[in-house]
């Protein structure tokens, strides 16, 4: 028994399957996607008694082997394909002690595939509270299996489960019941035609639209001859099969399970009346969101400032310590800055997923989804889309990752594509400095014009997201089943271990997934800003020194002027001049053009880029404002940053896809560059048109 065994964790949603997975694997787990599809794949290693190692794969939640979604197809395809490297030596069906009847439907189906199967009954700590008692010996005999009574909350029964997994060869593989009795003639003919194949496996092949790879391809093609029955007849047989299974389950539980309803205490109904109320439900949800995002901004600001200053100090230390040269500059200004651009997102991502995980673990998120579905569905979205859209006000990156919970691929794709319209915190530095320059001070009804402008930008962003979702719903010709089914799990205290592992995995996914792309583009942008062709760049010091010879500049001022000259004649500066004819109708000059190009790395780079161009230290915000306010439009005369150009710039940043890290995440979540490229082109084009119209009307 020295070889590694494969263990599949299978179960209905909300049975605590993830908690069991975490209890078995701890930190020895990894998360990825199944090849070619966006369904999440979780796997880990568990050390079992007597030196046995188990490869645990946490399969997507499914109610039965009658697939109705991409997630459920994954489960069936694995269980039918013995050639798959993840094909289980033993299956552990995780059930919830309060919903045993429903959970056992899936268990009886898996038993028919003659896979050694263990029934793990979770949340056993709630049995006394709910007045439930089980005759384990009787249930094991009737279900022809071994049962592990576990509680991941109390950490009980896990060792017993590990022992059962180790001794999986002792498990019976006999089915619990004869499902073929629903139509003996049909199934007897099927058995005679394929005497060497499992009958229930053949039945699943006939009724399910799944991909079987290279497994028994000839057999599966031959089974097509048995699809002589109409879809309606096959559906009727499936229903008869389900009824027969539930008849068996009811008879088994009648003797094996006792529920004393009088002793059961349940506040769930009372809480649901409040939390899903058609008025108070929305008020409570809005209040919770307000608290969450206030906490995200307050809590993340300290670690983000620390990360920012740490990387700046590290960059400065590298410059001071290593000998001058291209390698030192690449390390200090390209690689370290690029890494800083990745790491600085971690606090927001971690805190956002901390709160999302708590809401999911507690059972409240299901109520939110139910509440919002009626509103969102009118625009081609799901109730579950509300989480990414609101999360996008902090950062679009974790918000797009949060769209994984949406089952329908069409609704999930639309959510991913429109989420970047919501105003993220990276836009705030751009908004604040432009608003301060072009919106006059003054108040209406006690609210300042500047505050109202900022609020309006947030509303415009959310309106654009919802409006574009409606258009995409009409335009996208993607066939995707969209049945809104959401289970209302019991309320419970979140498990600290589950929350911590969720935050860790989501953060790791960002750092190692999008991080590689962000770092690569950061290095490219550094190169473009640090080098340029011709004498104007290479002889910048002499040129600038001659120009300012009579100005008596300090050493720092001279250095800033030289850097500004270099930037103007660098590759990225040349790009700014090249795009100036295109952006001039929007009221911008080449300097704003450079800032727009640079801020593709991250929107907040806009202010820093302009600070460098205007030859002032980036930490003197008032000086930046004064210098920007003094800029003259070379074509029209007057201030460059006036009301028309300011509003144009605000609208451009409200709608443009100016964030490479978001594009990287969209690519990762959709497994193709098609959607992020379309997103970049369409959003940027729309932003350009809106900004153009705004400037031409207001100038």
CATH of the domain at 14: 3.40.50.300
490 and 604 co-located in one domain: no
Give the count of domains, the chain.
3
The verdict on whether residue 59 carries a ligand-binding annotation is yes
Tell me, yes or no, whether 508 lies in a domain.
Answer: no
471 and 566 co-located in one domain: no
Residue 621 has pLDDT above 50, yes or no: no
Phi, psi of 363 (to 5 degrees): 95, -5
365 and 236 co-located in one domain: no
Lowest-confidence segment of 52-66, 288-302, 438-452, 556-570 by average pLDDT: 288-302
CA 325 vs CA 119, 369, 539: distances in Å: 65, 55, 16
Residue 482 pLDDT class (50, 70, 90 cuts): low
The verdict on whether residue 276 carries a ligand-binding annotation is no
The verdict on whether residue 16 carries a ligand-binding annotation is yes
The verdict on whether residue 356 carries a ligand-binding annotation is no
The verdict on whether residue 646 carries a ligand-binding annotation is no
Q: CA 57 to CA 634: how far, in whole Å?
A: 64
Mean pLDDT of 283-312: 77
User: Beta-carbon neighbour count of residue 321 at 10 Å?
Assistant: 9
Q: Which of 264, 291, 326 is the last residue of a domain?
A: 264
The verdict on whether residue 60 carries a ligand-binding annotation is yes
The verdict on whether residue 25 carries a ligand-binding annotation is yes
Residue 126 has pLDDT above 90, yes or no: no
Q: CA 489 to CA 363: how far, in whole Å?
A: 6
Residue 558 pLDDT class (50, 70, 90 cuts): confident
604 and 490 co-located in one domain: no
Strand spans (E) along 28-131: 29-33, 40-47, 53-58, 90-96, 117-122
Helices (DSSP H) in 257-334: which residue ranges?
A: 268-275, 280-321, 326-329
The verdict on whether residue 15 carries a ligand-binding annotation is yes
Q: Which residues pair with 258 in a beta bridge?
A: 133
Residue 577 has pLDDT above 50, yes or no: yes
Q: What is the pLDDT of residue 483?
A: 54
340 and 429 co-located in one domain: yes
The verdict on whether residue 36 carries a ligand-binding annotation is yes
Q: How far is C-alpha 346 from the geometric centre of its chain's CA atoms?
A: 14
Q: What is the pLDDT of residue 473?
A: 87
The verdict on whether residue 189 carries a ligand-binding annotation is no
226 and 299 co-located in one domain: no
Residue 33 has pLDDT above 60, yes or no: no
410 and 449 co-located in one domain: yes
More confidently predicted of 212 and 381? 381
Would you call 240 helix, strand, or coil by DSSP? helix
Q: How many helices (H) and strands (E) does the chain have?
A: 32, 11
295 and 248 co-located in one domain: no
571 and 452 co-located in one domain: no
Q: CA 403 to CA 391: how far, in whole Å?
A: 10
Residue 264 pLDDT class (50, 70, 90 cuts): very low
The verdict on whether residue 123 carries a ligand-binding annotation is yes
Q: What is the pLDDT of residue 652?
A: 95
Determine contact, residues 115/80, Cβ cutoff 8 Å.
Answer: no
Q: Whole-model pTM?
A: 0.61
The verdict on whether residue 18 carries a ligand-binding annotation is yes
User: Beta-carbon neighbour count of residue 491 at 10 Å?
Assistant: 15
Residue 336 pLDDT class (50, 70, 90 cuts): confident
242 and 327 co-located in one domain: no
Tell me, yes or no, whether 512 lies in a domain.
Answer: no
User: Beta-carbon neighbour count of residue 608 at 10 Å?
Assistant: 16
Q: CA 632 to CA 641: how far, in whole Å?
A: 8
298 and 168 co-located in one domain: no
Residue 619 pLDDT class (50, 70, 90 cuts): very low
The verdict on whether residue 17 carries a ligand-binding annotation is yes
Q: Residue 601: give the domain boundaries.
A: 520-698
Would you call 205 helix, strand, or coil by DSSP? helix
Mean pLDDT of 5-17: 89
The verdict on whether residue 623 carries a ligand-binding annotation is no
The verdict on whether residue 58 carries a ligand-binding annotation is yes
472's CB contacts (< 8 A; 6+ apart) are 380, 414, 417, 418
User: Chain-wide mean pLDDT for the chain?
Assistant: 80
The verdict on whether residue 131 carries a ligand-binding annotation is no
The verdict on whether residue 124 carries a ligand-binding annotation is yes
Q: Which of 233, 264, 295 is the last residue of a domain?
A: 264
Q: CA 316 to CA 515: how far, in whole Å?
A: 22
Q: What is the pLDDT of residue 421?
A: 93
Q: Which of 205, 236, 264 is the last residue of a domain?
A: 264
Determine contact, residues 104/22, Cβ cutoff 8 Å.
Answer: no
Q: What is the pLDDT of residue 220?
A: 55
Q: Which residues pair with 443 in a beta bridge?
A: 448
The verdict on whether residue 12 carries a ligand-binding annotation is yes
575 and 436 co-located in one domain: no
């Amino acid at each position: 028994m020295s070889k590694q065994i494969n263990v599949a964790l299978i179960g209905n949603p909300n049975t605590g399957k993830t908690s069991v997975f975490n209890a078995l694997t701890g930190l020895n787990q990894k998360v990825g996607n199944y090849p070619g599809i966006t369904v999440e794949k979780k796997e880990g290693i568990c050390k079992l008694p007597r030196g046995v190692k188990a490869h645990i794969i946490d399969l997507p939640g499914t109610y039965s082997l009658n697939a109705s979604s991409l997630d459920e197809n994954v489960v069936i395809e694995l269980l039918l394909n013995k050639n798959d490297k993840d094909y289980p030596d033993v299956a552990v069906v995780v059930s919830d002690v309060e919903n045993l009847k429903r959970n056992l439907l899936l268990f009886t189906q898996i038993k028919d595939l003659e896979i050694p199967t263990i029934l793990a009954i979770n949340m056993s700590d709630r049995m006394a509270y709910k007045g439930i008692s089980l005759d384990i010996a009787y249930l094991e005999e009737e279900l022809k299996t071994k049962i592990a009574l576990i509680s991941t909350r109390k950490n009980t029964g896990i060792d017993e489960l590990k022992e059962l997994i180790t001794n999986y060869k002792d498990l019976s593989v006999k089915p619990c019941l004869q499902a073929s009795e629903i139509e003996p003639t049909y199934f007897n003919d099927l058995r005679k035609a394929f005497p060497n194949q499992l009958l229930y496996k053949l039945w699943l092949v006939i009724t399910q639209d799944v991909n079987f790879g290279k497994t028994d391809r000839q057999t599966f093609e031959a089974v097509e001859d048995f699809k002589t029955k109409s879809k309606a007849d096959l559906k009727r047989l499936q229903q008869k099969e389900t009824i027969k299974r539930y008849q068996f389950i009811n008879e088994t539980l009648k003797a094996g399970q006792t529920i004393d309803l009088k002793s059961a205490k349940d506040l769930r109904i009372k809480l649901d009346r409040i939390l899903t109320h058609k008025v108070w439900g929305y008020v409570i949800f809005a209040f919770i969101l307000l608290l969450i995002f206030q906490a995200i901004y307050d809590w993340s600001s300290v670690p983000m400032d620390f990360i920012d200053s740490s990387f700046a100090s590290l960059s400065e230390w590298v410059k001071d310590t290593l000998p001058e040269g291209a390698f030192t500059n690449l390390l200090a200004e390209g690689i370290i800055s690029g890494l800083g651009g990745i790491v600085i997102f971690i606090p927001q991502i971690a805190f956002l997923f901390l709160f999302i995980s708590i809401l999911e673990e507690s059972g409240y998120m299901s109520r939110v989804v139910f509440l919002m579905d009626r509103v969102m569905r009118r625009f081609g979205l799901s109730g579950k889309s509300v989480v990414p859209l609101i999360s996008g006000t902090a950062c679009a990156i974790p918000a797009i990752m949060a769209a994984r919970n949406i089952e329908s691929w069409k609704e999930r794709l639309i959510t991913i594509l429109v989420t970047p319209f919501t105003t993220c915190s990276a836009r705030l530095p751009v908004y604040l400095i432009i608003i301060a320059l072009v919106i006059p001070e003054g108040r209406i009804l006690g609210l300042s014009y500047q505050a109202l402008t900022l609020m309006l930008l947030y509303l415009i962003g959310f309106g654009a997201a919802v409006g574009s979702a409606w258009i995409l719903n009409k335009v996208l010709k993607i066939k995707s089943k969209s049945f809104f089914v959401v289970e209302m799990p019991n309320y419970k205290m979140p498990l600290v271990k589950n929350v911590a592992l969720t935050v860790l995995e989501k953060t790791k996914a960002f750092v190692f997934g999008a991080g590689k792309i962000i770092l690569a583009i950061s290095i490219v942008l550094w190169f473009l800003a640090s080098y340029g062709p011709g004498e104007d760049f290479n002889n910048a010091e002499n040129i600038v020194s001659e120009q300012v010879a009579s100005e008596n500049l300090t050493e720092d001022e001279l250095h800033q002027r030289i850097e500004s000259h270099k930037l103007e004649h660098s590759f990225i500066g040349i790009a700014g001049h090249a795009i100036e004819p295109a952006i001039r109708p929007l009221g911008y000059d080449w300097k704003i053009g450079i800032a727009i190009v640079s801020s593709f790395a991250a929107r907040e780079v806009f202010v820093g880029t302009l600070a460098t161009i205007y030859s002032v230290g980036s930490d003197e915000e008032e000086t930046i404002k004064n210098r920007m306010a003094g800029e003259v439009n070379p074509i029209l005369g007057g201030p460059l940053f006036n009301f028309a150009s300011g509003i144009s710039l605000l609208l451009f940043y409200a709608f443009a896809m100016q964030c490479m890290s978001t594009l990287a995440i969209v690519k990762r979540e959709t497994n193709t560059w098609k959607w992020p490229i379309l997103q970049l082109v369409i959003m940027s084009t729309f932003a350009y048109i809106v900004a153009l119209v705004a400037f031409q009307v207001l100038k």
